[in-house]
Structure 1
């Protein structure tokens, strides 16, 4: 592996770790758009899972007081049911279509959130709806480590505060992505090279997660909201470009 590839790997890990430490999700959202330039999708997805779980564990002590198991359990239950479905789709994912689909989602998702400016507090569907959103997030988590986007959009509709969202997603993403990683290892989808890539990427992930957790404390609800949307939108642009640009 040359110096340029290592630099790209570490920059993706740093960006992904930062957003994960800041929001409780987002390693895949930031890192995939960078890593897919130098790492095939078959290796990038399990690498995202390893770094996502690493970031969750690294920030757990700092966020422990925010954890809300009462709000999180329907998402976790749905996510654990959906995660195996996503894991089974990994081997069937076309790399270019995969990057384009994820990139478009990253453009649409933050744009939709940005325009939800009012203080929505809908209780529609109750915990059953929370579980359904968790199920969809679990499918994306098993497929690409992208368990966070749909639940956080739903949390905005629910009108939860910054701390409520952060506590729920720390639990949801940590459990669902940890289960997805175990399933992929048990299914033989994780090649030996992925663990070597993880050894290079995890220091950047830990540093980014530490910086993100510190930044989280300094942000207001509005600043937290807008910063995350901007980061996700930029990631979406990069991933769409990488899928359509000539090689």
Structure 2
């Protein structure tokens, strides 16, 4: 097991996940949990992945935020943040009660559904200001729960902001500070809840440097790369990772014999 004596293949997958996830976060402002989970569940105990994802996400967010900080939209982000902070404890409690196989399956299904919804083009619909700030807070609670449960705080607010419409830079100025604060809160909650053990810290020691390098590279390319091409590549990776996780979980439970 990687937490004790890392073999070369497990270490390679861990570092590749950290590097790729960091790059995605640096470029898009979210995605550490979505991308890294697809790699890390294959080489780490399921209970180790969520706290590792959350802590690596904080590192990636800090690096990628360097160039975005002057454009934070705190007034717009406020209801999401309030909801997110309220939702994190619920997610941490759900994590403590969930079985590893359930967690693996839930994350895999979420990855598949998220990628399919993005590919389908449903997010081209716009709802404008429907629901107001109370709806924003409700979405923040959902993001907080997902952040506390599996380090996946970003997708729900991002989807909601895309439905609201507006430029991508304005959306990022809301969901990226949300991600940072919610994930930092989730890190503290997981530590207090006993989910951060020696195995997590060992994996973190290996993964954070690769995450930082990936995030720095992604942030540098943020204004240069083709957004449409990068979006397709990331969604393909998310879809593949989710399918592999679900199939692996089904295999472990004897569904395929």
Indicate the TM-score class for this superposition, using the shorter chain for normalisation. Answer: over 0.9
How many angstroms does 1:157 deviate by?
A: 0.6
Is 2:76 aligned against 1:71? yes
Measure, in 1, the Cα distance between the counterparts of 2:230 and 2:72.
18
2: CA distance, partners of 1:216 / 1:116: 24
Q: Would you tell me which structure has more helix in proportion to its own residues?
A: 1
Mean CA deviation greater in 134-143 or 178-187: 178-187
TM-score normalised by length of structure 1: 0.92
CA contact (8 A) 2:79 2:136 kept: yes
User: Please, which moves more after superposition, 148-157 or 216-225?
Assistant: 216-225
- Any stretches of 5+ residues in structure 2 without a counterpart? 1-5
Return the offset for 1:110. Answer: 2.5
1:116 Cα offset (Å): 2.3
- Aligned CA RMSD, in angstroms, stands at 1.9
- SS of the residue corresponding to residue 16 of structure 1 reads helix
Residue 88 (structure 2) pairs with residue 83 (structure 1):
yes
Q: Does 1:133 align with 2:121?
A: no
Change (3 A) 1:72 1:60: same
Distance in 2, matches of 1:61 and 1:186, equals 28
Provide the C-alpha distance between the structure 2 equivalents of 1:55 and 1:118, rounded to a whole number of angstroms.
28
Distance (Å, rounded) in 2 between the aligned partners of 1:223 and 1:246? 35
- The answer as to whether partners of 1:161 and 1:221 remain within 8 angstroms in 2 is no
Please give the residue correspondences for 1:1-247 in structure 2 after superposition, counting only pairs within 5 Å: 1-114=6-119, 115-116=121-122, 118=124, 120-219=126-225, 222-223=228-229, 225-246=231-252
What TM-score does the superposition give when structure 2 sets the normalisation length? 0.89
| Contact 1:113/1:156 (<8 A) preserved | no
How far, CA to CA, are the matches of 2:58 and 2:124 in structure 1?
33
- Does the 8 A contact of 1:81 with 1:135 survive in 2? yes
* Separation of aligned partners in 1, 2:233 and 2:170: 17
Distance in structure 1 (CA, Å) of the matches to 2:228 and 2:125: 11
Distance across 2 between alignment mates of 1:227 and 1:117: 17
Higher deviation after alignment, 224-233 or 67-76:
224-233
Work out the number of aligned pairs and report it: 247
- In structure 2, do the counterparts of structure 1 residues 159 and 27 end up closer, same or farther at CA, with 3 Å as the change threshold? same
In structure 2, the CA distance between the partners of 1:161 and 1:228, relative to structure 1 (3 Å rule), is farther
Pick closer, same or farther for the CA change 1:151–1:227 going to 2, 3 Å.
farther
Q: Secondary structure at the match of 1:217?
A: coil
Map Cα deviations across residues 174-218 of structure 1 (whole Å, 9 max, x no partner).
000000101111222210231121110011101111122123212
